[in-house]
Chain A
Amino acid sequence: MNDRPELFRGNRIFLACIYWAFVLYVFVPLILMVLMGFKDSRFIGFPIRSWTLEWYTGVFADTEVLSTFGYSIAIAVLSTLISILVGTWIAVLLEGRKFAGRGLTFGLTLLPALVPGIISAIAFRIYARWLGIEPGMGAIVWAHAVHNVPFVVLVVMARLSTLPKSQIEAARDLGADPLITFLRITLPYLVPAILGASIFCLLLSFDDFVRSFFLGGYEPTLPVMIFAMLRSGMSPEINAIATVALVLTAAIGLWAERFTRRMNKER
């Protein structure tokens, strides 16, 4: 694009404006949230008359909040791994293949995403009891994993549909068997989609309240704790907890980005 800057400059400036306006849109509420964590009051909102660090120091002093955070992260990561594995497998089966029952399988695949949260939570709860799964971390991971599979399938299928057939055929011509073709050609091509889908899954799991509530035991996940705290009002403390969780996850995300970038360089 650098050969002909004059051609696209107008567009570029226009689009850049939209991008930064969008950044503003997503960040202003966030900034408000962080700001409110410093308010010396039991409630958030304007005007702010005095400031305090108490809420933030409180988060770090409270081991319960930190362990709840860790618990939520663990659930998110485990359920994401399962969803990615299952979802990719289903996507490979469904994309570009014609077989009897394909439409039905696709419909069934999307099912968990189509059912409203409260319904799916209760359905999972009844089903879990029927299967003999005890409420607790395992049950939450299971419910989140099942719920997130459709999102993985949709994202991975979209990418898979654009995989040049010639690459597969070339690998075959070189004598690679289907598994090796998949691992060497298809999978690397899917990496961006899998990364994107992982982000979806982690987010959906990390933010899920209703399934975690119905399938959880006596240890709350972060959203369950926040919901319960909300009963006594939307306090700056909840903002402080959310901010700390945000900073920690952002740090993990940035580290992951660095890490993959380094991996890419080494390759």
Chain B
Amino acid sequence: MTYDASTRRDGQSAGSTAADRTFWGRLSAWGPYHALMRLTTASPRRQFLILAAFPILWVLTQHLGPMLQMLRVSLTDAYPVAPGVEQSFTLDNYARFFGDSIFWMPFFRTLTFAGVFTFCTLIITYPVAYFLARHVSRKNQMLFLLLLLIPFWVGEIVRTYAIMILLGNTGAVNLALKTLGLIDRPIPFMYTSFSMGVGIVYLTALYMLLPLYSALEKLPQSMNEAAADLGAGAWTRFRRVSLPLTIEGISSGCTLVFLISTGFYATPVLLGGPSTTVFAETIAGFFHVAGDEWPTGAAFATIMFLAALIITTVFQRLMKMLRKGESA
């Protein structure tokens, strides 16, 4: 995507006469702008540097900066430093994680839960996105989509409490089942992996829905029809046509949802049971309960972060291979 200013040094390239009448034509013919463009696009290298300078500066100062602070804290033996205390550097905080198996359980549980809930979210939202993109007329698509977005404007906590009064022993579901005469005793839905799943899928569905929708929306209907003409059934059409072409959307949706799920704190804590502790809770404990455990918390957070990073990278690679394999 490089552009060589020399090709239009005389400003005489094709179409310029028609373009001159539009705003863009006038802009590109405007002296100072033209000079600026020549300056900035003089060579592919300079063009790239100008494009890359700001993003790289941003990620270094804004993204890396705070994290380096965290990394520094994770390598210290005390933070915040009490007056008169000498601060020294240590790896003990990392050793603590690997040295004590009680931390492994919530760690792997978090990754497993995040994976499972991401998959559930995908399974649930794919048909919804498919329906929206393929079976709703273009005029109404935005409206149908907005309809689904409305509930996401309610804060996490308020929605989580709404789920409690939905699933509680005297909650709406049990009330309805009882009224219908289906049960005598309430079913204890709450404080299980089930209630946690209901809550998390509720919170993440949107982050899956939008990438899927935008991928499906681009899918040409003609391909489906062509496949149908060749005698492909619904499942085959889906597997051979829709799925490969929406891998990009699936990949970015799953990455988003996975990342968000690993960081969830309030919902698992409020909806989960005694045996569903997640790692975010463990980490938060080091910051909430005792002040001098920030370094341990920071070290654990770094570990979690690295794990999430590795998993998403591997996942993205896999998806890329899959896409290449399908298109080959």
Chain A CB within 8 A of B120 CB:
no
Chain A CB within 8 A of B32 CB:
no
Q: Are A44 and B161 in contact (CB under 8 A)?
A: yes
Q: Are A29 and B70 in contact (CB under 8 A)?
A: no
- Comparing B48-56, B81-89, B91-99, the segment that makes contact with chain A is B48-56
A162 and B37 alpha carbons, distance in the complex (Å): 27
Set B134, B211, B263: member contacting A158, Cβ < 8 A: B211
A residues near B131, Cβ cutoff 8 Å? 12, 15-16, 18-19
Q: Are A257 and B205 in contact (CB under 8 A)?
A: no
Known: A19-B131, A108-B59, A126-B66. A119 touches B298 (CB 8 A): yes
CB distance from A10 to the nearest CB of B (A): 7
B134-175 with Cβ < 8 A to chain A: 134-135, 142-144, 146-159, 161-163, 165-166, 168, 170-172, 175
Q: Are B308 and A114 in contact (CB under 8 A)?
A: yes
Q: What 0/1 pattern do residues 32 to 52 of B give for CB contact below 8 A with A? A: 000001000100000110011
A136 and B237 alpha carbons, distance in the complex (Å): 54
CB distance from B317 to the nearest CB of A (A): 11
A149 and B132 alpha carbons, distance in the complex (Å): 27
Q: Are B1 and A29 in contact (CB under 8 A)?
A: no
Q: Are A18 and B127 in contact (CB under 8 A)?
A: yes
Number of interface residues of A (CB under 8 A): 106
- Residue of B at shortest CB range from A199? B149
Set B150, B228, B255: member contacting A30, Cβ < 8 A: B150
A29 and B159 alpha carbons, distance in the complex (Å): 7
Q: What 0/1 pattern do residues 45 to 73 of A give for CB contact below 8 A with B? A: 11100000000000000000000000000
CB distance from B289 to the nearest CB of A (A): 12
- Residue of B at shortest CB range from A260? B142
Q: Are B305 and A159 in contact (CB under 8 A)?
A: no
Q: Is chain B's interface secondary structure helix, strand, loop, or mixed overall?
A: helix
Q: What 0/1 pattern do residues 148 to 172 of A give for CB contact below 8 A with B? A: 0101001101110110000010001
A residues near B304, Cβ cutoff 8 Å? 116
Chain B CB within 8 A of A239 CB:
yes
B residues near A45, Cβ cutoff 8 Å? 165, 168, 170-171
Chain A CB within 8 A of B283 CB:
yes
Set A161, A174, A253, A257: member contacting B248, Cβ < 8 A: A161
Q: Are B152 and A119 in contact (CB under 8 A)?
A: no
Q: Are B154 and A246 in contact (CB under 8 A)?
A: yes
Q: Are A115 and B59 in contact (CB under 8 A)?
A: no
Q: How many A-B residue pairs have CB under 8 A?
A: 292
Q: Are B63 and A112 in contact (CB under 8 A)?
A: yes
CB distance from B3 to the nearest CB of A (A): 5
- Residue of B at shortest CB range from A192? B214
Q: Are A196 and B158 in contact (CB under 8 A)?
A: no
A246 and B150 alpha carbons, distance in the complex (Å): 8
Chain B CB within 8 A of A96 CB:
yes
Q: Are A242 and B154 in contact (CB under 8 A)?
A: yes
B residues near A220, Cβ cutoff 8 Å? none
Set B64, B165, B210, B256: member contacting A32, Cβ < 8 A: B165
Chain A CB within 8 A of B128 CB:
yes
A29 and B256 alpha carbons, distance in the complex (Å): 24
CB distance from A159 to the nearest CB of B (A): 6
Known A29-B159, A109-B55, A242-B158; further 16 A-B contacts with Cβ < 8 A: A1-B135, A22-B125, A23-B147, A29-B151, A29-B162, A32-B165, A33-B154, A44-B165, A46-B168, A46-B171, A107-B313, A115-B263, A158-B211, A175-B14, A227-B157, A245-B153
Per CB-CB distance, the 8 closest pairs between chain A and chain B, nearest first, are A175-B13, A29-B162, A123-B66, A15-B131, A119-B301, A174-B15, A108-B59, A127-B66
Task: Return 21 A-B CB contacts under 8 Å, by A number.
Answer: A1-B134, A7-B225, A15-B130, A26-B151, A29-B162, A29-B163, A45-B165, A46-B172, A92-B51, A97-B1, A112-B66, A115-B305, A116-B263, A116-B284, A172-B3, A174-B14, A174-B15, A177-B28, A178-B47, A226-B158, A261-B142
